[in-house]
Amino acid sequence: MDTAGRIQVVPSGAACGATVRDVDLRRLDDADVAAIRAAWLEHKVLAFPDQQLSDSDLEAFTLRFGPFGDDPFFAAIDGHPHIAAIRRRADETSSLFAENWHADWSFQEFPPDGTCLYGKVIPPLGGDTLYTNQQAALAAMPAELRAKIDGKVGIHSARGGYAPDGQYGDDDADRSMQIRPNDSAYATQLHPLIRTHPETGAETLYSTIGYIIGIDGMADDDARLLLGEMYAWQTRDEFQYQHRWEPNMLVMWDNRCVLHRATSGYDGYDRLLHRTTIGYRAIA
């Protein structure tokens, strides 16, 4: 256990993740924010149990860590243009939202630094969120694989999910979550497969196959093979943290150095979380 000022940070014991106690996220002073930021950079995923946050509180918390990010394919909840509801009904038959590993919105020119998710209705079983530490994955990567990806630039796109012919597109049915697919999902954006975290200076793998649809200057078949090899490494069990939700728990993660994905296992139960995006902030 580590105490940074008044807050208490308990590491998960897995490759990333920590629980933060003794803090009320509605009443943070600058020292609290600095301590949370330091813990966030160290552990990459922070969980804050037993918070009583209104939607306005969630927005205010988010803004302590950066500007709001741009959420191009979500409809916001009423009265809160920066909050999306991650929602699934007990009897819903649509494919699970966000079940593939990803870094949020990595197809943007300036992808978001982080994401906040606040648990409102949490099923008694299933629905965990998985995280994988991409700094650790890169550090442990075999030299032979690293040599293959070093200097390579990924082509990112939202088309697989959010284009009209994507997973959440025109043929999607029985989905309670308000997703808004559109043609802008076909756009592409380049980012190196290995990036330096702007705040910690650590090298990290960035994003994965799915949002990465190719490698700049490489034939599609070769790129698919290499991205598949990278995926098999970056999602290995030893880099993962499995997060179990509670109602009134807020989790914030660092998209610059973790991947995450949703899991199923709660058929017959509703699940609802409110999500904000911590936008890109240039580091001087």
| Site residues for ligand SIN per CB under 6 A | 86, 98, 129, 260, 262, 275
Nearest in space to 236 (alpha carbons), one of 18, 14, 17, 11: 14
Q: Please, which residue, 146 or 261, has the CB nearer to ligand SIN?
A: 261
* Shortest distance (Å) from residue 278 CB to ligand SIN: 13
* Shortest distance (Å) from residue 276 CB to ligand SIN: 10
Q: Please, which residue, 41 or 98, has the CB nearer to ligand SIN?
A: 98
Q: How far is CA 111 from CA 69, 103, 157, 255, in A?
A: 8, 9, 12, 8
* C-alpha to C-alpha distance for 11 and 39, rounded to whole angstroms: 10
Find the DSSP H helices in the chain.
Answer: 30-43, 55-63, 134-139, 143-149, 159-162, 220-234
Q: Please, which residue, 55 or 229, has the CB nearer to ligand SIN?
A: 55
Q: What are phi and psi of 86, to 5 degrees?
A: -90, 105
Q: Please, which residue, 35 or 205, has the CB nearer to ligand SIN?
A: 205
* Shortest distance (Å) from residue 136 CB to ligand SIN: 20
DSSP class of residue 186 equals G
Burial (Cβ within 10 Å: 0-12, 13-18, ≥19) of residue 10: middle
* Shortest distance (Å) from residue 117 CB to ligand SIN: 6
Nearest in space to 260 (alpha carbons), one of 159, 134, 167: 134
Q: Please, which residue, 62 or 129, has the CB nearer to ligand SIN?
A: 129
* Shortest distance (Å) from residue 247 CB to ligand SIN: 14
